[in-house]
Amino acid sequence: MHIRLIIAAFVGLSSPAAAQLYFGQATALDGDSLQMTGATFALAGIDALEARQTCLRGDKVWNCGEYASAALKALVDGKRVKCTQRGTDALGQVIATCTVDGRDLGQEMVRMGLAVALEGTDPDYGEWEDLARLNSAGIWSTEFQAPAEFRESDPLAAQEMRAMLAERERQLKAMEAVRNAPRTVYYSGCRQAQAAGATPLHRGEPGYRIEMDGDGDGVACERYPSRR
């Protein structure tokens, strides 16, 4: 599920200096996101119909969101996918342009009328949206809500959004805790500590052990003789 209205400001803030490439078989999560190589990829430049979204074609309800998800699934199933990273979003998803057999997946979804082009983004699929509209492809032959409008009006989408942001915040805090955790250092004795240039060792410092503090004053190996 894309949450572009809220996260659009974050896209590109963490853009890599050199575009990173990903290859592999992918699983479609919905109409504009993929799971591959353990990461989630959001197709750059488009916003596809949400899986729960419906469209009205004449007097009949069409499950257009499910159709969009199935269309992206058909494009990638069993195929080798190549994704070029363009940035990341607030949820840690990789914003990317992805291709299969040289076909741009974002472009294909817009061309079929199953996604709308996002303004002011790179790539710009505006011309493909105009063509889809002209051909009455997909949603352009129906009455529908723009995906962003649907998410704003859908309570479940807002709930999912809060849950995903909370999970991302938890992940970031866990990574920060790992980065800030004191490193475990172990010296078998004062000779090894001196060889490492760590003596004297004070209580609370990495590598200090009470067994190395002969006089128990909180400073270990302070009088260890120099090696000759």
Question: SS3 for 210?
Answer: helix
Q: What average pLDDT does the structure give for the chain?
A: 84
pLDDT band at 163 (very low <50, low <70, confident <90, very high): confident
Report whether pLDDT(164) > 60.
yes
Per-residue pLDDT for 4 more than 50?
Answer: no
Predicted confidence (pLDDT) per residue in 177-200, tens digit:
767 766 678 888 898 888 887 888
Distance from C-alpha of 67 to C-alpha of 77, rounded to nearest angstrom:
15
DSSP 3-state assignment of 60?
A: strand
* Out of 17-21, 69-73, 106-110, 219-223, least confident range: 17-21
Q: What is the pLDDT of residue 204?
A: 78
Lowest mean pLDDT among 72-81, 158-167, 180-189, 217-226: 217-226
DSSP-derived letter for residue 69 is H
Domains of the chain, start order = 4-177 (2.40.50.90), 182-228 (no CATH)
Residue 68: closest CA among 157, 2, 135, 156: 2
pLDDT of residue 5: 38
106-146 pLDDT per residue, tens: 999 999 999 999 999 889 999 999 999 999 999 999 999 99
Closest CA to 118 of 99, 97, 103, 134: 97
Integer Cα distance of 179 and 98 in angstroms = 32
For 75-105, write each residue's pLDDT tens digit: 999 999 999 999 988 888 899 999 999 999 9
Q: Higher confidence at residue 72 or residue 205?
A: 72
Residues 110 and 138 sit within 8 Å (Cβ to Cβ): no
**CA–CA distance, 93 with 18 (Å, rounded to integer):** 17
Q: Which of 12-21, 54-63, 184-193 has the highest mean pLDDT?
A: 54-63
Q: Is the Cβ–Cβ distance between 82 and 99 less than 8 Å?
A: yes
Q: What is the DSSP letter of 212?
A: G
**What confidence tier does 1 reach under pLDDT thresholds 50, 70, 90?**
low
Cβ contacts of residue 211 below 8 Å, gap of 6+? none
